[in-house]
Structure 1
Amino acid sequence: MINHISRAARRGFSSGLRRLSDLRASEHVPESPASPRLTEQASLYVHWPYCLRRCTYCNFNKYIPKENNDDVMTKCLRTEAETLLQLSQVSYVTSVFFGGGTPSLAPPSTIAKILETVSKQANLSDEAEVTLEVNPTPVAMSKLKDYRHAGVSRFSIGVQSLQDEDLKSLGRDHSAREALQTLGEARRLCPGGVSVDIMFGRPGQTTESWRRELSEMLRVCDDHVSLYQLTLERGTGLFKQVHCGQVTMPTEEMTAEMYQCARETLQQHGFQQYEVSNFAKNNSESRHNVSYWKGEQYIGVGPGAHGRFVPLGEGGVAREARTQTLEPDVWIREVQQRGHGTRRRIRLGHLELLEEVLVMGMRMTKGINHKHWEGFSPELSLHEIFGASPVVQELLQSGHLILDDRGLRCSWDGLALLDSILPVLLVEMDKQIFPKAAS
């Protein structure tokens, strides 16, 4: 069963990559030279690290503020955005995503000022997708109009559940009624530009209760739905509760049934699945998230944000994986001192880049087409890498994988088994790129 709680992947963290170091220990991994097509544009992720409280299931990079430092945080986010955009030398910013934490705690003026900074450094068109994650509380709902005026064109509403008891156990600070009210106001202000996050695999949940809840939500939601399977993360309150036997999680078989149930229910309501966890109708796919899955450049701004871009401004020729400092106070000091809080830089070799393109691209129902793959791998085509592999042939014959004139992708059934398919594809790709080590 695939792990669907993919906020991290949605933000480009790519944490699901398998590193096959045993095949590479003695090998030189060549760099992947940057082509103009891959470096002239990027998406931008902005991380607001603060929350009013921590949900019982959450292990994301978030902090409870000791005092109001909105002005300092705003100034530093603008400074880091300016620095990294100059470093990347991108001409176009295709989309901006404000995530967190709880970015709907940020003043609307913060959003406006950051977008103003971005526009001064690169072309940010009026049609660019600007998304804000919203915690559906009355306070957040009261600010939606101001966020729209600030430049937000898409709201991602963290509904998570329509069961008040479950919301309370998850540590959420809103009720089902407040979530529906916020959703309604967001749809009024931004019709066709509202996404709903909803979670399954919650303690005590059954497939039938999930089906009823999902059907209820679909009667009032907009044109985009993101599903998240609740997973246990060490160090969270929920993990401790389960470990102590206070609550019981659904089995893997039950969550697999819930996932299939959701896919069928969403399809019946006119939603098309375009990625493992994401569904849309009326062409409302998240352009920002699609840019991640297509392996395009993105710049991460804010505490703990991740990025993937070529630092052309300092003579870079290969894409780098960048991570910003986690702790807000430390990050603020670093930004004030040197203009950015980049804590880690890893230059991606050709194989590392192809791994990311493969892992992220296979999340989409369309998979990876040949022309797109050729842009990253002009030497070896998808057919050359995977066509002759006996183990890949088994996946093709079973109907879980498809390799044809369109490209490489999972079937409807195969997409639910992506976690077991990806390691096979990664090993076969390594064999082609490092044939001596693999043999």
Structure 2
Amino acid sequence: MKQQPAPRGVYIHIPFCTNKCHYCDFNSFVLKGQPVDEYLEALEREMAATSIMLPPQVIDTVFVGGGTPTVLTPEQMTRFLAAVKRHFPLADNVEFSMEANPGTTDLEKLQAMREGGVNRLSFGVQSFDNVLLERIGRIHDVDDVYNSIANARTAGFDNLSIDLMFGLPGQTVDALQDSVARALALDLPHYSLYGLKVEENTLFHRLYERNELILPEEEEELEMYLYIMEQLKNAGRRQYEISNFAKPGFESRHNTIYWRNEPYYGLGAGAHGYAGRHRHVNIKGVQPYIEATRNGLPRLDSSDVSESEAMEDFMMVGLRLLEGVSNTDFGRQFPGHSIEEQFGDIIMRLQDDGLLEAEGDRYRLTEQGVLLGNEVFGAFVTVLED
């Protein structure tokens, strides 16, 4: 087996939130009463142990997610960012992203983030409709969005992204159109658009089970997605992935690591990592995670990834990118193999169904395939034998 390279991306999880949104199934905990400083100490222990176990080379991307990382105080933020730099050698042109919640980013905190090396912010806006924001459990309002973006620009951030959601309870096409217009008026370089998924262990799932969650019809949700794609394209934001749109040069470099099935470090409570054809997930609870770091790596589970499983993953995540997957990249990860050799029958069927198209040594989604992406990705699940 070819020796796998050391990861060039780092994901770090800050699991604290001001509150739990009604749709959220991420590993997150309400901030009040949490041992935040102890957690940051534990993160430093995991960083140190990780850098010994799998020594890092130059790191191209860092992504801090959650939770809401921006609930850290300016002092905690400064300490945390300094620890990242101590344990991971960052490239001169590193993309250093942090998720942020509008209303948790005053100018002092943003300046601490900028001085600590963060150069890209992703704001969880979700909607420009205050009624909808309250309905889905967000604590910010539209004014907080504008203030946060203004503060970020004042602090020196120009690589900014916002998340918007569609298919929300009670959301109409008109309401979605208004949110898209307001989002584009901010003239940001990057936008992420997500349809609501009702996940287990959420308030929305409990309501859904009781038939108390009224969602838009499937046709209406499709109309929303098509409208989003059209408006963002007209505004000069290229759709480079199923849910992501950017000005040229502002595509998320860190997320592209995932979509290309490349290795990355994963640190923090509940974080996932992938390196050397080996996946792990960390212990999820805050206190159990803290205690586990005193005795080594805080693993909840870990497993080897077979070559056939890695090939399937390559296709499933790679086809999310609108540039698709290439035999060149496939051969780089799996020397001596080609896409046609492993998946020829599936590729032909998806082409016959009008969901995939070929160009040179590359396969990518058609316009119809973009709308039926899950059908395409599912075609590659557990189809190869080890």
TM value normalised by structure 2? 0.94
**1:423: Cα distance to partner?**
2.6
SS of 2:291 mapped into structure 1:
helix
CA–CA distance in 2 between the matches of 1:64 and 1:97?
Answer: 21
- Tell me the residue number matched to 1:234: 200
Q: How big is the shift at 1:378?
A: 2.0
Which of 263, 280, 285 is the aligned partner of 1:327?
Answer: 285
Q: What is the alpha-carbon distance in structure 2 between the residues aligned to residue 259 and residue 233 of structure 1? A: 20
Normalized per residue, the structure richer in strand is: 2
Amino acid at match of 1:348: V
Distance 1:406 1:107, change over 3 A: farther
- Tell me, in whole angstroms, the C-alpha distance in 1 between the residues paired with 2:272 and 2:359: 34
Q: How far did 1:369 drift?
A: 1.6
Say yes or no: does 1:164 pair with 2:130: yes
Q: Which residue of 2 aligns with 1:75?
A: 41
Q: From 71, 75, 94, give the equivalent of 1:105.
A: 71
Distance in 2, matches of 1:65 and 1:111, equals: 15
2:269 pairs with one of 275, 280, 303? 303
Identical positions, percent: 30
Query: Which consecutive residues of structure 2, in runs of 5 or more, have no partner in the other structure?
Result: none
Report the counterpart of residue 345 of structure 1 in structure 2. 302
**Residue 372 of structure 2: which of 417, 427, 430 is its match?**
417
Which of 301, 321, 328 is the aligned partner of 1:371? 328
Aligned length: 386
Q: Which amino acid in 2 is paired with 1:237?
A: L
Distance 1:145 1:116, change over 3 A: closer
Give the aligned partner of residue 177 of structure 2. 211
CA RMSD of aligned residues (A): 2.0
The 1:309/1:195 distance shift into structure 2, 3 A limit, reads: same
Aligned CA distance change for structure 1 residues 358 and 170 (closer, same or farther; 3 Å): same
Q: Alignment partner of 2:379: what SS? A: helix
Residues 1:327 and 1:398: Cα distance change in structure 2 (over 3 Å): same
Counterpart residue type for residue 284 of structure 1: F
Q: Cα 1:177–1:120, aligned 2, differ >3 Å: closer, same or farther?
A: closer
Residues 1:145 and 2:111 are matched in the alignment? yes
User: Which structure is richer in relative contact order (CA contacts within 8 A, separation 6 or more)?
Assistant: 1
Q: What residue in structure 1 maps to residue 313 of structure 2?
A: 356
Correspondences of 1:45-194 after superposition (within 5 Å): 45-137=11-103, 140=106, 142-194=108-160
Tell me which residue corresponds to 1:405.
360
Distance change (3 Å), C-alpha of 1:82 and 1:151: same
Give the drift of 1:138. Answer: 5.4
Q: Deviations over 1:125-154 (max 9, x none)?
A: 232111111110055555212211121110
Q: Distance in 1 between matches of 2:32 and 2:119?
A: 31
Tell me if 1:396 matches 2:354. Answer: no
Structure 1 CA distance for aligned equivalents of residues 113 and 141 of structure 2: 22
For residues 61 and 122 of structure 1, do their structure 2 counterparts lie closer, same or farther at Cα, with a shift above 3 Å needed? closer
- Tell me the SS of whatever aligns to 2:38: helix
Q: What is the TM-score normalised by the length of structure 1?
A: 0.83
Q: Distance in 1 between matches of 2:253 and 2:71?
A: 24
1:368-403 CA distances to partner (integer Å, 9 max, x unpaired)? 12211001222321233344x2x5324324432013
| 1:195 Cα deviation from its structure 2 partner | 0.6
Structure 1 CA distance for aligned equivalents of residues 107 and 266 of structure 2: 26
Deviations 1:172-223 (A, max 9, x none): 1110111121122223434431010111101111223212220121111410
Q: Deviations over 1:250-281 (max 9, x none)?
A: 12222122111111111011100111111100
Whichever residue aligns with residue 256 of structure 1, its letter is L
